[in-house]
Amino acid sequence: MLLDLACFDCVVKQVDKKEDKTFDGTSIPTPFEQVNNNGIYEFTCLKGHKSKTVIDNINFEILFEYGLNAIVDGYYRESVSSLTSAMERYFEFFIKTILRSSKNDFDLIDKSWKKISSQSERQLGAYIMLYIQVFGEEPLLLKPNSEIPFRNGVIHKGYIPTKMETIKFGNSVMKIIEESLLKLKGKHQNECFETFEYYGYKKKAKEDIEKLEKKTGRGQNIMFVNIMTTIDVKNGREKNPKDGRKGLVEKRISNIIERREPRSLILLKDTPKTK
Ligand SMILES: [Zn+2]
């Protein structure tokens, strides 16, 4: 899986040029790194700068994208596993957002979450009940007679799914998350963003980096980058009808393949003029 990261030094250099042009044609190399769990990416950019970038995303956004990338790479079992994790971590996000919307402290939310954190069936129960409470209807879930046995077969019984089966499963998961997330944002946008900030990679990474700065006595130059994922809390694809992330899993897969071609990032000094 590839992430569009950016190099702090390159961006600073570009900004320092201060050329009086709307569009400065110099490209900034966009380094790619392997995905990790803490959201901090250290790399050497193509110009040789040692750089550190933190992604401004939350786990289920990245897990879903990871699942799509696994389809592209032909790892269908891994895809089903990542897509399932994305869905479960989305349920967690939903539950915490709803608890937050009733003015609960994140400390209390964390404390109560701990009691169900290792039991996905309990989490699912909480999700269904809270969803009905808030929206007055049942949430969309995996189909009990087909999709749940399929997922269990893959995850617990070593079943190797086909590409088509995996894509179909991906579309179901995408619908389950996206329909719910859109409604959640529609009703509790502020709490959605608050929960995103609180549990996203950025907050924890900032804390880790501050600790490191204290320990070493050296300041760190950090870039924060929001990776444009298919499932996206802050910059959802629903906002713009021309968003390049539109479409079902099939379309996303071809988009991911296109994006793996060498590309570069261009900094614009102003909003480009449209004719
Ligand atoms: Zn650089």
User: Is 267 a member of any domain?
Assistant: no
Contacts of 226 (CB under 8 A, 6+ apart): 55, 56, 57, 234, 235
Mean pLDDT of the chain: 90
C-alpha 10 – ligand 1 centre gap (Å): 4
Distant-in-sequence contacts of 11-20, Cβ < 8 A, 24+ apart: 11/223, 11/267, 12/221, 14/267, 15/267, 19/269
C-alpha 45 – ligand 1 centre gap (Å): 5
Residues 30/247, Cβ–Cβ less than 8 Å: no
**What are the tens digits of pLDDT across the range 168-210?**
999 999 999 999 999 999 999 999 999 999 999 999 999 999 9
C-alpha 222 – ligand 1 centre gap (Å): 12
Same domain? 78 vs 187:
yes
C-alpha 216 – ligand 1 centre gap (Å): 23
**What are the tens digits of pLDDT across the range 205-264?**
999 999 999 999 988 888 899 999 999 999 999 999 899 899 999 999 999 998 887 666
**Mean local confidence (pLDDT), 66-87:** 97
Question: What pLDDT was estimated at residue 220?
Answer: 83
C-alpha 59 – ligand 1 centre gap (Å): 27
Taking 80 as the threshold, does the pLDDT of residue 121 lie above it? Answer: yes
Question: What pLDDT was estimated at residue 275?
Answer: 45
User: Is 266 a member of any domain?
Assistant: no
C-alpha 7 – ligand 1 centre gap (Å): 5
Chain centre distance of CA 204? 15
C-alpha 55 – ligand 1 centre gap (Å): 17
Taking 50 as the threshold, does the pLDDT of residue 23 lie above it? Answer: no
C-alpha 272 – ligand 1 centre gap (Å): 24
C-alpha 57 – ligand 1 centre gap (Å): 22
C-alpha 43 – ligand 1 centre gap (Å): 9
Q: Which amino acid is at 35?
A: V
C-alpha 46 – ligand 1 centre gap (Å): 6
Q: What is the CATH number of the domain that holds 147?
A: 1.20.120
C-alpha 49 – ligand 1 centre gap (Å): 5
Question: What pLDDT was estimated at residue 274?
Answer: 54
**Mean local confidence (pLDDT), 17-32:** 59
C-alpha 243 – ligand 1 centre gap (Å): 28
Same domain? 127 vs 96:
yes
Q: Residue 273 gets which letter from DSSP? A: P
**Mean local confidence (pLDDT), 95-121:** 97
C-alpha 229 – ligand 1 centre gap (Å): 24
- Of the pLDDT bands very low, low, confident and very high (cuts 50, 70, 90), residue 20 is low
User: Is 174 a member of any domain?
Assistant: yes
**Mean local confidence (pLDDT), 4-27:** 69
Boundary residue ending a domain (155, 179, 199) = 199
**Mean local confidence (pLDDT), 258-274:** 68
C-alpha 15 – ligand 1 centre gap (Å): 13
C-alpha 175 – ligand 1 centre gap (Å): 38
**What are the tens digits of pLDDT across the range 224-233?**
999 999 999 9
Residues 34/43, Cβ–Cβ less than 8 Å: no
Whole-prediction pTM value? 0.91
Taking 50 as the threshold, does the pLDDT of residue 154 lie above it? Answer: yes
For 168, counting Cβ atoms within 10 Å of its Cβ (0-12 exposed, 13-18 middle, 19+ buried), the class is: middle
Token code pair at residue 184: 């959640």
Counted domains in the chain: 2
- Of the pLDDT bands very low, low, confident and very high (cuts 50, 70, 90), residue 26 is low
Same domain? 65 vs 137:
yes
Quote the domain boundaries for residue 30: 2-58+202-259
Same domain? 43 vs 119:
no
Q: How far apart are CA 197 and CA 79, in angstroms?
A: 27
C-alpha 37 – ligand 1 centre gap (Å): 23
